[in-house]
Structure 1
């Protein structure tokens, strides 16, 4: 990755509240504080690395407003409210240069149904399949081997990575990003036990992904048994997330890697779910709730609380129980010792 930024260009990008020190050269790479060399841009995004700022060789460092240290010789500190956000602004400029918007049009190898609607400003890449009645909106970019099923809709300014799949009747809002290998609209997992065998229940609903959602690689979002499975506006799904049929995920939620949500569960707005957490079906997770990594959620979660553990419990209670659980071996030893002393006292009293 080749980059080259002058200090004045970085200042224009991040709008610091203060510039401390000076650097006359160019920035050619981004690096962690301890890994940085002259010509690097770094940042203090986590207070645990605060001591590394003073020893870092980075030429420009993004620091928060409460950082009081001074830069070294030929080094500059750009004081910003949120260093990680400021770095993201720089990376957005780099991303734009690395992946410029492609020329609109449909690749000759793509298979597009005659009655599909493709915006003249959209890009459909090699070996894509766009089925009958499907729609691809303005400025959307479908990379190689994307499948858009019958009557599915892809909104404007969407980006679909290679081998992503949008099944029949499913709908993506504007500015949705879907990473490689993700399947939107696979059948919900529904069976009834009839005459000694598992009979498939038809899954005739759809999936609606609202605007500004980003879905990581190899996620699976099941279509509803009926009605809709919904991913709310602004929600972000990490890689390998599984969403069951008829699940409703609210707005601006975060679901980390390998989260599994069983069917007909509702997750409120602004909820955060840690990696590998599992949610049983037909539950309600309240607005703003937080669920720790690997938690097993088997009952409703109230709004705004933090739960952890298996089964999931309020965080402070779960931590207390964990501490007590570690003390159980000593406790059993004490109980055994006390039981032995009682036996000795009983024997003595019988004499």
Structure 2
């Protein structure tokens, strides 16, 4: 990847709140970490852990926090901001628009659209897509091999990457981003044991995602048994996440990779679930709760709680137990010595 960005353009993106320290007259040809950056690169200090690496960095332009007091080398520019990481995101957003421009409106001739589907003339429908009967497609982007089921709705500004599947009657909100391989509206996992066999329970509901939802690659959200599986506005779901039927997730939640959420569990707003955590069914997770990676949640969790462990327990209790566990070998040794003295 080769860039050609002037410092003037970078300052335009970052706005007036950016404080300039030092000078660099060249262009920016790349973005790299502080340790790997070379002359002509842009870098940033987003984590205090790497603060000591700024002084030795060869980057020509470095985004640093407002409280960074060191001065740049000759021919080097520091741009001081409240949040350097977000500032870099703004720059990358501008770069992304140039590297990956929005496809032009139109329908690829290899796509199949049922006659009664309603497709916006501003939509971009890529190669080998299928749009089912009665579906409504807003001014959105469907990359190649996307399937949209019967009577499904794709909101304005949504972007469905290659091989996304949106099931019958499901509704995708405005400005959603569905990454490759994600499946929205697959059958919920429901069976009843009758007459010596597991009888499938029909899943006749749908999935509804609100505005500004992101869904990672190869994640699956099951349709409801009845009613809707719901994903709230601004929620971001990572890769390889499984969300079961009738789950309801609030606004602005973060669901990290390989999380599994069982049926009918309800998450409030702003919940964070870290990687590989598992949530049992029919639970209530209060707003603002934080669930650590690998945690097994089998009971309700209060709002603003922090939990960790198997099964989930308050984070402070988990940490105390971890400290005590490290002391167990010495404790057993002392106990053995005491037992020998008593028996002698």
Q: Is the 8 A contact 2:256 2:275 kept in 1?
A: yes
SS of 1:184's partner is strand
TM-score normalised to structure 2 length: 0.98
Q: Which residue of 2 aligns with 1:39?
A: 40
Gap runs ≥5 in structure 2: none
- Give the Cα separation in 1 of the matches to 2:12 and 2:157: 26
Q: Is the 8 A contact 2:21 2:77 kept in 1?
A: yes
Where do residues 1-351 of structure 1 align in structure 2 (5 Å cutoff)? 1-15=1-15, 16-138=17-139, 140-344=140-344
Q: How many equivalent pairs are there?
A: 343
Give the Å deviation of 1:159: 0.3
SS in 2 for 1:234: coil
3-state DSSP of counterpart to 1:333: helix
RMSD over aligned Cα atoms: 0.8
Q: Verify the 8 A CA contact 2:11 2:18 in the aligned structure 1.
A: no
Question: Structure 2 CA distance, aligned partners of 1:76 and 1:20?
Answer: 6
TM-score where L is the length of structure 1: 0.96
Which has the higher Rg, Structure 1 or Structure 2?
Answer: 1
Runs of 4+ deviating beyond 3 Å = none
Given that 2:283 and 2:300 are in contact with CA atoms closer than 8 Å, whether structure 1 keeps it comes out as yes
Deviation, structure 1 residue 129: 0.4
Q: What's the CA shift string for 1:153-196, capped at 9, x where partnerless? A: 00000000000000000000100000000000010111111122
Question: Any unmatched runs of 5+ in structure 1?
Answer: 345-351
State the secondary structure of the residue aligned to 1:221: strand
What does the per-residue CA deviation read over 1:129-162, in whole Å, with 9 as the maximum and x for residues that have no partner?
0010001002x00000000000000000000000
Deviation track 1:231-265 (CA, whole Å, cap 9, x = no partner) reads 10000001001001100010000001101100010
- Provide Cα deviations, 1:74-107, integer angstroms capped at 9, x if missing partner: 0000011100110011101110001112111111
